[in-house]
């Protein structure tokens, strides 16, 4: 059942559920969708809601306004809530909690990118499983131009995605990349015309939503382990997820649908 749009953080974070897809909108276009601490709290709440709802099979995250996906932290609040090391530590705990909830969805996360996707904004996009960008998108990590270090977890994602040589070029130069170069570097999955972006992402998300959730979860976790730190691999966990697929009602439904030459109707059980 489709749900009305929910507004959080004074309307700067929006969420809706539609046809098995959870939509998370970063809605501060006047600041290129910079993310305040209250917005991070709201993102965490939306992620928890989507994770707990079996009707949500896939999540799409995007920025409002067409000019930016996200531009990182909201600098206007730094003097108030990030004035010293202790305040920064508290800020990091809250924003980090929201990031962990977003990464811990247990469901595919798609970043729909239009316009600028810079610095912390790209760190947010890196948490997604799939990134689809419009032709007018711009990417960059300007840490070296600001005299700061990029977060270690974000670097882990970047190196796993693009490899160490590309990651070094991006970090050492701090320059912006257009969408075509980002695609060539493997930073995004696909680049499409602006007018086709939402339709392309909606179609992709719909394909995922119609497939078997247990199968997708097993594949997602196995791929994450293969691409991640070997020390964190848990073959027993992957074997349990695989067995759950073969013992599921969805596996029986998939066989019946194939025999009856119809589209399967998966329940996630």
Per-residue pLDDT, 209: 97
Percent of the chain with pLDDT over 70: 94
Least confident of 1-5, 76-80, 198-202: 76-80
Q: Which residue has the higher pLDDT, 3 or 66?
A: 66
Residues 103 and 124 sit within 8 Å (Cβ to Cβ): no
Fold of 6-209: 2-enoyl-CoA Hydratase; Chain A, domain 1 (3.90.226)
- Give the pairing type, strands 6-8 and 13-18: antiparallel
The residue among 137, 123, 134, 132 whose CA lies nearest residue 178 is 137
Integer angstrom CA distances of residue 97 from 10, 91, 109, 199 = 20, 10, 17, 32
Return residue ranges of the chain for CATH 3.90.226.10.
6-209
| Residue pLDDT, tens place only, 227-264 | 888 888 999 999 999 999 999 999 999 999 999 999 99
Evaluate if residue 213 carries a pLDDT over 60.
yes
Tell whether pTM > 0.85: yes
Give the residue carrying structure tokens 């073969």.
246
- pLDDT tens readout for residues 28-79: 999 999 998 899 999 999 999 999 999 999 999 999 999 999 987 776 666 6
pLDDT tens per residue, range 115-144: 999 988 999 999 999 999 999 999 999 889
């Amino acid at each position: 059942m489709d749900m009305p749009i929910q507004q959080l953080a004074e309307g700067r974070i929006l969420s809706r559920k539609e046809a098995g897809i959870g939509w998370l909108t970063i809605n501060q276009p006047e600041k290129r969708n910079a993310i305040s601490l209250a917005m991070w709290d709201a993102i965490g709440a939306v992620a928890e809601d989507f994770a707990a709802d079996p009707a949500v099979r896939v999540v799409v995250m995007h920025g409002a306004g067409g000019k930016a996906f996200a531009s990182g932290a909201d600098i206007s609040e730094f003097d108030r809530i990030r004035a010293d090391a202790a305040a920064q530590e508290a800020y990091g705990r809250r924003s980090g909690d929201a990031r962990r909830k977003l990464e811990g969805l247990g469901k595919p996360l798609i970043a729909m990118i239009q316009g600028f996707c810079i610095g912390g904004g790209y760190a947010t996009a890196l948490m997604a499983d799939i990134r689809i960008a419009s032709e007018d998108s711009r990417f960059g990590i300007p840490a070296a131009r600001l005299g700061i270090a990029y977060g270690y977890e974000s670097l882990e994602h970047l190196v796993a995605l693009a490899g160490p040589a590309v990651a070094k070029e991006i970090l050492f130069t701090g320059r912006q990349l257009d969408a075509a170069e980002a695609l060539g570097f493997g930073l995004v999955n696909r680049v499409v015309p602006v007018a086709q972006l939402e339709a392309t992402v909606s179609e992709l998300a719909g394909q995922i939503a119609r497939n078997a959730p247990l199968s997708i979860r097993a594949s997602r976790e196995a791929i994450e382990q293969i691409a991640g730190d070997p020390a964190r691999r848990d073959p027993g966990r992957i074997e349990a997820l695989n067995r759950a697929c073969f013992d599921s009602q969805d596996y029986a439904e998939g066989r019946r649908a194939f025999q009856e030459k119809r589209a399967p109707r998966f329940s996630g059980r």
